Structure formats: structure tokens, C-alpha cells
Structure 1
């Protein structure tokens, strides 16, 4: 047993868990160490081609779960150097690591590759940076916010202008009006509400047949509920129920319609609607992260509250 343990320790020293050049390169992109990132990229790619030095332990790379697969494809010449570099940038973007993603996407562009995926990943990175700045600085006047939002919008527009996929265009158009993440910085909900509500209403009016229309309503009813605009909330919910009865969020919208009545003390209407909700058909999760169990708890608690008020 001791012999096996020693052998494993020796192997772990001889075969690094992560390609050391990649590890250093990532540290440079994060600003943790000084160095020329381009030089380490060259060392990294050369070690893959010449030494077959692949990354074995993806957990150490914070999100690059497919890195060995990409390295192997590059070594076997199934993908180009630019494609390899871009894929790393895309993986970092998908795992909400904008700082690391930025360098690899820019390097891929220098190598001659920029695609729809590049623009979308950059937009995702800037959106994350925007929310990080607001979350940590809590200052709406921070000029870095405007700079991030400008870059975010520019890249989403590039997706719309260059994509041939109609579904992709619709989703991206919707994203243009939904950058703000209230679960991350809830103290600014009231500040952003007027613009967000207006943008969502315009989207619903202009694109009633959009494949993401349900997501637009899902967000709109939450914002109206949170800002206590119960008159408009009731109107929007009824419009949705009349026009999108087969929607996967229909039971959730009924819940919000019941809320609109509950908070103006129209308990009879609220009770009838709460009781009509098919709880098993509620979505597993809705914007901005409410789970089904949470909504069910709210329904039950409000029915109990109504009963107490009427007793």
C-alpha cells in the first residue's frame, strides 16, 4: 500500500495536474503575477504540440471543465490555434470569469478569429463587470458603469447585426433591455424600475410574437409587484392570461394577478385566484430566482392571512 502511495506521489510530481504554462498565463490575465501573456501562450501551445502536456485536473482552473478536450483537439490539429484560444475565452465567459475571458477572446481576434460567439461572450463579460461594479461600489454615478454598459450594448448590437439565426437575434434583442440583476444589488431596484418597466412594455408591444415574450412578461410582472404598482400589475397579468393561456409561466402569472388583488384588500378575488393555481404546474424557477417552493409558501401564507382578516 505504501509503495502504491509513493508511486502516485511521484506521478503527481512528474505529471502536473494543469499545464504549468496555462496556469501562469491565467494568473497573468488575473493580474496576480507579472509577465508577458503572449510569451506564455506560445509556451503553452508549444508544450501541447511538442510534449503532449495536457491539463488533467480541471477543478484547478475555475471553470475550464473541457480544457483537456480542447487541448487534445488542438494537438491533433482538429482545431486551429485561433479556435483553441477562442474556446478558452468562451468557456471562461460561460463560467462568469470576465477578466480571464477577455484576454483569450482578444488573442483569438489577433490570430484572425472573431465570430458571433465572440461578441456574445464579450457582452456577457461586460454585463458581469457592470453588475460587479454596482454591487461592490454601490455608486450609480461611477463612470465605469457607463463605460461597461456602452461596451455591453455595442457587442449585443454586433450579434444582432451579424447573426443569421432569428432566435438568436430575438434573444439578444431582449437582452438589450435586461442587463440589470436586482438579486445582486437590490438597493437600486427603485432607481432602475422606471426604465426597466418602460423597456419591457415597449418590447411586449413591439414583439408580441417573440419567442422570448414569456420571459419579458415574467420580468415585467416581478418589477411591477416589487415596485407595488398593483393596478398595472393586474392589467398586465390579465392581458397575458387572455393571450398566452398555454404559456409555461401561466400559473405564476395567476399568482401575480392574485397578489395584485391581495395588496389592495380585494380578498374575495385574491382567494379565488390563489385557490385556482395548479401548484404542480408552477415553473421550477422564475425571475429573479424565485423557486417553486417559495411561491407555494407565499400562496399558503396569504390564504392564511386572508382567513385571519375575515374571521
Structure 2
């Protein structure tokens, strides 16, 4: 990162001050009580999720949205940000490539149909696994989780059929674990209820922000929360340039990303062509519960056009 760019380091959410703490608690209330979202208690002091406890209030406070302003949240999922902007009087927009916009009942029906369909495929997939014959993907390769990926090579001679069946059922469990939980309560990835969108008058589109379907210079604030680091590098840069394109002069671009490997801040600032007004490095809490999932530090970038 260029020497001119310096982080403000945050070791604990409480270090951000009283106003920040109040904002964090209101965001949590809004997300869990009004949006009925799932909280992830990954530490004794977390309210929603350790990273979201800092990201959401920081984005809201840095945005300083006023009534009548136009806002956009990119890669929104089931984030409370666009809904809270709308509550503050903004003309709020959201976009997400993988958005699932439907009622909880519709989501439950879709999930049930998918489960039944995959269960029906198991006998054929097991036969293909044992014999090594047939073409196409097995049930274990249809899920999004990398944990389910397997090759269609035949099992060693004498492989126990019950063991193979158990393996496939385990793959299904991994695939549908989070989908089934979302039937009862949306998490950070949805589904997004049409009634909630109507209630807060949020315009939500399904699409990619590497090619935003909006005119130049039309938003006062654009945000992107912990999305860019999961994209290929060329798409990251395209996304930054697109978000900068749709911002009005003097508009704010507010980004957070998980520090998974390399520091991306310098490249993001350069690609945006904008001026950084705050760079923050939020260190993960020391008291998080053990987990197999990554628990990285988080970077926040606030830019002005």
C-alpha cells in the first residue's frame, strides 16, 4: 500500500466510542427484531457476527445519509444497510447477483423440492460411483459447498454400499444445512422478503456490480460490505470502477473487505480514482469461539469523489 495511505487501527468495537456503541446496538435490534435475521454469536460479546458488529455501524455512520439522497448497496444479500438508509429517508437501492427474493413459504417449498429431487438421484449416483459408469455430475457435485465435491471414479473393489450411501447423505446434509435454517429465519444471504422491500420501499435488483444497470453520477452513497475479496481480481477492479462511475461528484464510496491474504486497499483506491477520507483496520476479537471457518481482520475504506 502506498506510504501516503495509513490505517486507523481498532482493537475492540468498544474503542469506537459511545455513539458507535449505540449505533451498533440499534443495527442489531433492527436486523434481529425488525428484519428477523439470524445472529451469529461467534464470541461472548458479539451481537450479530464479530465482523458485522463493526462493519454495519461504521458504514452507516460514515455514510451520513440525508433525507432524499439516493443510495446503493452492492452485493447486498440480506444486509440491514439499505433498509436502514430507507428508514432514514433515502431512496435506497440494492443489488446482488445471488439474491433470493421470495417469501419464506416460497423458499421452503423450493428447498423441499430440491431436497426431494436430490434424494431421488441418490440410487443412480451410487450405482455410477460403484461401477464408474455413466456421465454427468453426481449429487455430491450439485451443492455450492466445496466440502461436497467428489470425482465420479469407481470406489475400490469391495466398497461397502452403506458407507457410500452414508457419504452421499453427509454431502446432502452439508449442502442443505444453511438452506434449511433459512426457512425459519433469513441470514446475511437471504432470502429477502418482498413484503419487507415494500414496507421500506427498497428497490432490489438481481445483477452483478461489475456491470451496474445504473446511469453515471446518480448515487450519493454506494457501499460494498465484505464482497470484493471473494471475487477474481479483474472483477474486483471492474466492480470498484463501476461503483465509482455511478457516484455523484462529492459522493461517498464505502467498502469493507476481509483481510484474507494480501492487502487490497492501495489497488482499490487507485482503481476508484477517488480520495480516501478514512482507512480503518479492525482486528478480530481475541475471545472468538474456536471454529473451522476463517475469522480474518477487516478493512474499511471510505472514499469521496
Q: Is this a same-fold pair by TM over 0.5?
A: no
**TM-score, normalised relative to structure 2:** 0.26
**TM-score, normalised relative to structure 1:** 0.25
Higher helix share: 1
Higher strand share: 2
Higher relative contact order (CA 8 A, sep 6+): 2
